[in-house]
Amino acid sequence: MTRTLHTPDLTLSQLELFVRIADAGSLSAAARQLQLTPAAASAALKRLEAAFGARLVERSTRSMRLTGEGELLRDHARRALGELDDARAQLGAGRETLSGDIHLAAPSDLGRGALSAMLDRFIEQHPGVRLTLYLSDTVQDLVRERVDLAVRYGELPDSSLVARRLHVTRRVLVASPAYIERHGAPQQPADLGRHNCLVLYRGGRPHLTWRFMRAGTETRVRVQGNRMAWDGAIVRQWALEGLGIATKARLDVADDLRSGRLVELLTDWRGEDFPLHALLPAGRHMPLRVRRLLDFLGDCFAQVEPELRASSGG
C-alpha cells in the first residue's frame, strides 16, 4: 500500500510574502507592502513553515531573523519568482510585455528633474509597469528596504552593491541674479568666506568644505551660511530665491542655467567631478522589467550633456 504525504498547498503569494519579510526584517512591514493585515501575513507565514516542515524565521518582540533554512529558501524563492516574472514577460503574442512593480530610489533634485522625464517615457512604453519612486538625499539600505534599483551621486564604498555608471557631471557654484546684484560675485574661492553659502548634508554631515581645481591645483574652502538642509531640492530652491550661493550637480541645474534663473560662478575654476551610478544589491535576481529600466536609463543618460562627459577628466 502506498502512503501519500499530505502537506499544505504552497502558493506563489506565500513565497512573495516570505521574500518581502526577508528583505524588510519585519512581518508588519512586509504586510504593508502587500496590503495585508499583520494577522493574515502571520497566518500565511505559518502555512509556509508547515509546507516545508521547518522554522524559517526566529521571532522577537522587535524584529524577525531568518534561520539557516529560511536563508536557503529566500535565495531559491528570489530566483524562482524572478525567473517566473521573466518568463511571463517574454511569453505571449511573440513580443516582450513588461509588467509588475519597480521600486526606484533617487536623489530629490534629480528625481524631480531629468530622471522624472525619463521615467515618464519608460512608463509610456511599458504601461503594465507600476513604478514607486522614493525621492531622498538620504542613502537607503537597498539590502533591507524594498528597493529594486537606486540612482545615486558620488563614489561608492559599499562593496555589497553592484554599480553601473550612468553619467559623470560636476559640481558647479551657482547663485541667482538677484543675489549677485545685492552681494556681488566671488572672484576666487577664498571670497566664499564672505558670502552666505547654502549647505547640503552629505553622509549625515553638513558639506562645509567645497573643492575647486585649476591648472592641476586643488583649493579647498571652508564655507558657512545660515541655511542647511538634508534635501538638495530645498538647497536649489533657496538659491533660486536669492538666499545664498550653492554648489550643485550641474545635471540638476542645467535648465536653471540655460534659462538664466541661476548663474554659474567661478567659471575659471572647476568643481569636483560627480559620477552618477545605478545600484542594486549583489546576488539579488534582477527581474526583466528592472533590467530593461536600467538599460533604458543608460541610453537616456548617454544623451545628456555630452560636453560634460568629454571634459570629465579635466
pLDDT tens for 64-79 read: 788 888 888 877 777 7
Residue whose entry in the numeric block shows the C-alpha cell 525619463 = 118
Which CATH number belongs to the domain containing residue 18 in this structure? 1.10.10.10
Please check whether residues 29 and 151 belong to one and the same domain: no
Q: How far apart are alpha carbons 101 and 289 in whole angstroms? A: 8
Residue 4 domain-assigned (yes or no): no
Answer for the pair 152, 139: CB distance below 8 angstroms, yes or no: yes
Whether residue 84 is found in the same domain as residue 29: yes
- Are 120 and 160 part of one and the same domain? yes
pLDDT in tens, 172-221: 999 999 999 999 999 999 999 999 999 999 878 999 999 999 988 999 99
Asked if 192 contacts 223 with a C-beta cutoff of 8 angstroms, the reply is yes
Q: Which of 89, 105, 129 is the last residue of a domain?
A: 89
pLDDT band for position 88 (cuts 50, 70, 90)? low
What pLDDT sits at residue 145?
A: 65
Which of 8, 301, 16, 31 lies closest to 153 in space, CA to CA?
301
Considering the domain architecture, whether residues 173 and 232 belong to the same structural domain is answered as: yes
Evaluate whether residue 7 is within a structural domain. Answer: no
Indicate the pTM of the whole model: 0.69
**Mean pLDDT over each residue of the chain, to the nearest integer:** 84
For residues 23 and 154, state if they share a domain.
Answer: no
Return the exposure string of 197-216: e unless at least 16 CB atoms fall within 10 Å of the residue's CB, then b.
bbbbbeeeeebeebebeeee
Range of the domain at 57: 12-89
Instruction: Give the model's pLDDT for residue 143.
Output: 61
Q: Percent of the chain beyond pLDDT 90? A: 46
206 and 295 share a domain?
Answer: no
Dig out the grid coordinates for 68 from the structure: 539557516
The pLDDT score that the predictor gives to residue 262 is: 98
Q: How far apart are CA 109 and CA 267, in angstroms?
A: 22
Examine the domain organization and report whether 180 and 245 are in the same domain.
yes
CATH of the domain at 206: 3.40.190.290
Amino acid identity for residue 129 in this structure: V
Task: Tell me how many domains the chain contains.
Answer: 3
Q: How many Cβ atoms are within 10 Å of 293's Cβ, its own excluded?
A: 25
Q: Is residue 6 part of a domain?
A: no
Query: Does 130 have pLDDT greater than 70?
Result: yes
Residue 133 cell numbers, joined: 519612486
| Residue 150: φ, ψ to 5° | -125, 145
Q: Is the pLDDT of residue 5 over 60?
A: no
